[in-house]
Chains A and B, each alone.
Chain A
Amino acid sequence: LAKTTQPISMDSYEGQEVNITCSHNNIATNDYITWYQQFPSQGPRFIIQGYKTKVTNEVASLFIPADRKSSTLSLPRVSLSDTAVYYCLVGGLSSGSARQLTFGSGTQLTVLP
């Protein structure tokens, strides 16, 4: 499984856009990029997943360059409740066959008032 590298921590202020970049130089052809969010005392929660270019949902956007060796999670107009740890994971398409997830160190995002 491809290893990921993310910043350990980031600070932001309410209302700002936050971009968290993840490096995954050894990503395989059939690997997807997935981001999870974890609040204290809770299990990780799926945020967004993509394969290439840009993906957007109601929570975030995910930008993936053509070489797919990195990805950027973009959180628009963060609020205090977005303070959490964000994990970038790279894994294969399940195609009906469940595969284990390997978590990296994650990025602790702290949103300040």
Chain B
Amino acid sequence: SAVISQKPSRDICQRGTSLTIQCQVDSQVTMMFWYRQQPGQSLTLIATANQGSEATYESGFVIDKFPISRPNLTFSTLTVSNMSPEDSSIYLCSVYGTGLNTEAFFGQGTRLTVV
């Protein structure tokens, strides 16, 4: 299993500002995943963060808007830049546990409200 801690758990931000979300895992993992969950919606993958290389972004998400850092095998940050009310969502990080299956573990999420 893996235990994931996300900070902050929630925040209210002014439009035009940026927020950096931290994700800490209790074990070393190769990849970390960042998801967005808009109100009442399912999860959408933003990007995959690899240690030592640039993140891989999904269609509709760009590095300038969602820069990601992955300085080591247990930590990653996602920044939501130049925020607008449309960025109000829950942002979650995720990792896979060890073993030969696709069981993933998620942080509790960061609830972002942009006003």
Interface residues of A, Cβ cutoff 8 Å to B? 32, 34, 36, 41-46, 49, 87, 89, 91-106
Contacts and interface: CB of A to CB of B under 8 A. Distances in A.
A46 B96 CA distance: 11
A97 B104 CA distance: 12
B111 to A, nearest CB: 7
Nearest to A33: B102
B100 to A, nearest CB: 6
A46 B104 contact: yes
B42 A99 contact: no
B6 to A, nearest CB: 8
Interface residues of B, number: 28
B102 A34 contact: yes
A43 B101 contact: no
Nearest to B45: A100
Interface of A is mostly: loop
Contacts of A89: 102
Given A49-B102, A98-B29, A101-B33, 19 more contacts: A32-B101, A41-B108, A42-B108, A43-B4, A43-B109, A46-B105, A49-B103, A87-B42, A93-B100, A94-B96, A94-B101, A94-B102, A98-B31, A98-B33, A100-B45, A100-B48, A103-B35, A103-B43, A103-B44
Given A34-B102, A93-B100, A95-B100, A101 B109 contact: no
